[in-house]
Amino acid sequence: MPWEDRLRVCLGISRLMVYLAESPLGSMAVHDFKLSQFVIVDGEIKLADLDDVDDNLPSCSTSSDCGIDMGTDNRVYALCQNGVCSNYRQKSNMAQSYLKFFVFLQLEQPPGMSELIGQLINNTKKSSWSPRQCLQHMQTILDHYQQGRYTNQAHTFDINDTHYQVYHDQNIIEGEDYWCSRTRQLAATCVLSVHDENEAIRMCLRDRQCGAFVLSSERTWTGRYIAHFKKSISKSIQPSKGNTIFVFPT
C-alpha cells in the first residue's frame, strides 16, 4: 500500500480512537485488535466487527496488574484506581493502533517527514498521548504533506530551464518503465504522488534511472499530483489535455 494511502488509514484510525474514547456510551475499547476486524470502503477504514468492543476494565491491586503488551517484552501500564485499571481502554486502543497501524508510517516515508513521524511513533508507542492529541498530530502530518512543507523550498526549478524539455498537454505513447520502491502500482513502474512539478523534477534529477516523467492531471485523495517516471521515452507522443511531459538529457 502506498505511503499516502497508509496515512489515510492511520488518520481514520485516529478518528476512531477519538470516537471510542468519547462515545455516547462512554469510553470503549477494542479488546481483540486484529486487522481482519477492519475493512476499507472507498479508501476509508471502517471497524466491521463490534463483538470485541466493550467498556470493561480489568481489575487490579496495583498498576503492575494493568500492563498492556507492546510486543518484544515491552509493556505500558494503565493506572490502578479503586480496584480497576482506570485509563486502560484509551491506553489499550492507542497501543494497538501503534502496533497494527502507526508503525508502518515509518516505512518509505517522504524525505523531510521523519521528525513528525518520529513524534507520532514515540508517543503512541508509550501510549502517552490522549486520542485527541494523536488526532491533532495526525492532522499536522497531513497538513505538512498536503502543502508540501516537508520539501526543500531552497531549491526551485524554472520550467524554461535548458536542462530539460517540457511538452504541455501531451502524453507518452511509449516509454521505458522502471520500478521504484514507493510506487503506487504493483507493476514494474515508478508512479508517485508529488506536491508539484518542482518536487517531481527534484525526484527525477536525484534518480539515476529517471530520464523523463509525465505529470498527469490525476489527483490523489490529498489533492497531490500523480507523476509517472520513465527511464526514457520514444518520440511518439500524443495530445492529452492536462498532462505535461518533462524530458531530461541523456
CATH number of the domain residue 199 falls in = 3.50.4.10
**Are 60 and 85 spatial neighbours (Cβ–Cβ below 8 Å)?**
yes
Same domain flag for 123 and 229:
no
Same domain flag for 15 and 113:
yes
Look up the pTM and report it.
Answer: 0.84
pLDDT at site 154: 40
Same domain flag for 38 and 68:
yes
Domain boundary among 113, 147, 181: 147
- Which of 31-37's residues contact partners 24+ apart within 8 Å by CB, and which partners? 31/56, 31/92, 33/93, 33/96, 33/97, 33/99, 33/100, 34/100, 35/100
What is the average pLDDT across 78-101? 90
Same domain flag for 107 and 199:
no
Which residues have C-beta within 8 Å of that of residue 136, sequence separation ≥ 6? none
pLDDT at site 223: 92
Same domain flag for 139 and 234:
no
Same domain flag for 132 and 24:
yes
Rounded to whole angstroms, the Cα distance separating 84 from 189 reads 54
Of 13-17, 51-55, 208-212, the range with the lowest mean pLDDT is 51-55
Residue 153 has pLDDT above 60, yes or no: no
Residue type, 39: V
Q: Is 88 among the domain residues?
A: yes
Same domain flag for 130 and 225:
no
Domain that holds residue 204: 165-247
Same domain flag for 172 and 75:
no
Q: Is 160 among the domain residues?
A: no
Domain boundary among 88, 112, 147: 147
Residue 152 has pLDDT above 70, yes or no: no
Same domain flag for 86 and 46:
yes
Of 159-168, 195-204, 216-225, the range with the lowest mean pLDDT is 159-168
Q: What are the tens digits of pLDDT across the range 44-69?
A: 888 887 777 888 888 999 989 988 88
CA distances 239 to 173, 196, 242, 244, Å, are 10, 21, 9, 10
Domain boundary among 121, 147, 173: 147
Number of independent structural domains in the chain: 2
Q: Is 154 among the domain residues?
A: no
Q: Is 59 among the domain residues?
A: yes
Q: Is 156 among the domain residues?
A: no
Q: Is 187 among the domain residues?
A: yes
Q: Is 155 among the domain residues?
A: no
Which is higher by pLDDT, 236 or 99? 99
Q: Is 70 among the domain residues?
A: yes
Rounded to whole angstroms, the Cα distance separating 68 from 123 reads 15
Same domain flag for 178 and 140:
no
What is the average pLDDT across 196-220? 89
**Are 20 and 37 spatial neighbours (Cβ–Cβ below 8 Å)?**
no
pLDDT classification of 26: cutoffs 50, 70, 90: confident
Q: What are the tens digits of pLDDT across the range 170-185?
A: 787 666 888 888 888 7
